[in-house]
Chain A
Amino acid sequence: MKNITDIQNEIIENFELFDGDMESILFYLMDLGKKLPAMPEAHKTEDFIVKGCQSKVWVYPSFMDGKVIFEADSNTEITKGLVSLLVQVWSNQTPDEILNSELFFIEKIGMSRMIGSQRSNGFNNMIKQIKLYALAYNSKNN
């Protein structure tokens, strides 16, 4: 399994191919969203909705063999693409790895241009939510 740093570097390389062309980046994000494994409808409950996002976003955690698995979905394609990046980086990692990781890819791919400050709160909430889940599994483990 690749580590969190390697995954982030790969994401940065992929985004560099678009040379900042916003339209291509958005199409790419929507494609990434489509590639997310389908999230069972039963997991899309109020409990797993990320608060403070303009669109609906669900993140559902589970714990298997010492690793946290994240499922995610959104009712908008671009947001789904954005949350898929977090899943790509953090799913299938141990709670410790998640909690100790720094998300450097966000700035490098120019996320602020994609979502603006209006929506960055929502994105930060996704990050917080995922870290909270990792923290919960970590405390349970110890």
Chain B
Amino acid sequence: MAQKLDITSIRNQFPILHQEVNGKPLIYFDNAATTQKPQAVIDALVKYYSHDNANIHRAAHTLAARSTDMFEDTRKTIQAFINAKEVEECIFTKGVTESINLVAQTWGRKFLVAGDEVIITTMEHHSNIVPWQMICEEKGAILKVIPINEAGELLMEEYEKLLSSKTKIVACVWVSNALGTINPVKEIITKAHAVGAKVLLDGAQACSHLEVDVQDLDCDFLTISGHKLYGPTGVGVLYGKRELLEAMPPYQGGGEMIKEVSFEKTTYNEIPYKFEAGTPNIGDVIAFKYALDFINEIGKENIATHENELLKHCVDGLLAINQSVKTLHATSPQQQPINLIGTAKQKVSVQSFVINGMHHFDAGMMLDAKGIAVRTGHHCTQPLMSYLGVDGTIRASFSVYNTLEEVDVFLEAVKKLIKR
């Protein structure tokens, strides 16, 4: 049972929220792009560089031991966070983009051959399109795309038609960044496995809103970005099943990833280190643990309940604006001032929309003038925008520290844009 959260005390943990932008209190609704950071994460960064900074894993001195322990503590925390079977299955990367590129360039390079098929969806972020296009082009493999319906939901019967013995991997976004759609990933995984294909889940948007259990999902790979989970930028995770990670060649060569180096031959380290060449982003990885602790303390279910309430309030408000204009002018649905983009039944707290007759860029600037930060544009999903027939949307995305009152201010501002 979800508990009612004390949002004021949660907000007090985020110093950035307490400021004015353009003379108005900041309303931060760009959480799908990046979430703000709680004081504990900021303090952890300061503490690391003030007290503990040392390169990890090799030196014999105290600071190195301390920083190594803290770095590996984050790995244990992320293992628990996603319920990975083994801690070695969690590799630190820069973020989802690097995690996907790693899989495409190592697993893809080793296992894809000409004529193989890679399946993605219409709603992928560019970071889950381009790496696959690159490796498909190199290997002569074919990229197939699962279509969606108008609400922004995958057409699962079309997905089944695409699956065959040629399918080698399904790389699928768990939650759409532009639409908020939660994809039926468990079903996607079961069906892919039935034809012998692997599944990579882009978890960039999902992991801050939904419970994650990679063993229950049975996904082969899961990619995570720390900065969308209240953590620092430049930290991400690639989860992969042990047998897959072991079969994959290293991604980059350098320090840390080796067992032994001679000029004749190099042998590689065990996972996860095989994939962590060079000095990693130690400070940010260490601080990332505090972001995961923050989420664990509040509880995903409680976070989701609050965020869903914000989403519902926002959607109801936008529809009410349409209704009020309809009553005034008896307009047809095509002429209604707001078109909601992304109306899937299963969604996280993201709402895209367009205001008819107003460019999203202008809307974004006007909202910013009121201190409201939203995302405008194509959200790095140009193929999706082109399918939807828009060149961009206004996207409001909510997080645990947002309030119903903020949504009200936002709705008033949108109403004013329409009535101008």
Contacts and interface: CB of A to CB of B under 8 A. Distances in A.
Contact of A23 (B358, B361, B362, B370): B370
B365 A26 contact: yes
Nearest to A30: B362
Nearest to A54: B361
Interface residues of chain A: helix, strand, loop or mixed (majority): helix
A75 B368 CA distance: 19
A101 to B, nearest CB: 27
Nearest to B366: A26
A23 B366 contact: yes
Given A23-B370, A55-B359, A78 B23 contact: no
A32 to B, nearest CB: 13
Contact of B420 (A27, A54, A79, A114): A27
Among B22, B365, B369, B377, the most chain A Cβ lie within 10 Å of the Cβ of B365
A112 interface: no
A27 B370 CA distance: 12
Among A23, A54, A76, A78, the most chain B Cβ lie within 10 Å of the Cβ of A23
Nearest to B370: A23
Among A21, A76, A79, the most chain B Cβ lie within 10 Å of the Cβ of A76
B359 A75 contact: yes
What size tier do the contact residues of chain A reach? 10 to 19
B362 A22 contact: no
Nearest to B359: A76
A132 to B, nearest CB: 25
A32 B359 CA distance: 16
A77 B23 contact: no
A55 B378 CA distance: 12
Among B358, B359, B362, B366, the most chain A Cβ lie within 10 Å of the Cβ of B362
Interface in B7-24: 22-23
Given A21-B23, A22-B23, A27-B420, A78 B361 contact: yes
Interface in B320-360: 358-359
Interface string A71-94: 000011111000000000000000
23 contacts: A20-B23, A22-B22, A22-B368, A22-B369, A23-B366, A23-B370, A25-B369, A26-B366, A27-B420, A30-B362, A54-B361, A55-B359, A55-B361, A75-B359, A76-B359, A76-B361, A76-B362, A77-B358, A77-B359, A77-B362, A78-B361, A79-B361, A114-B365
Q: Which 5 A-B pairs have the closest CB atoms?
A: A22-B369, A23-B369, A76-B359, A22-B22, A76-B361
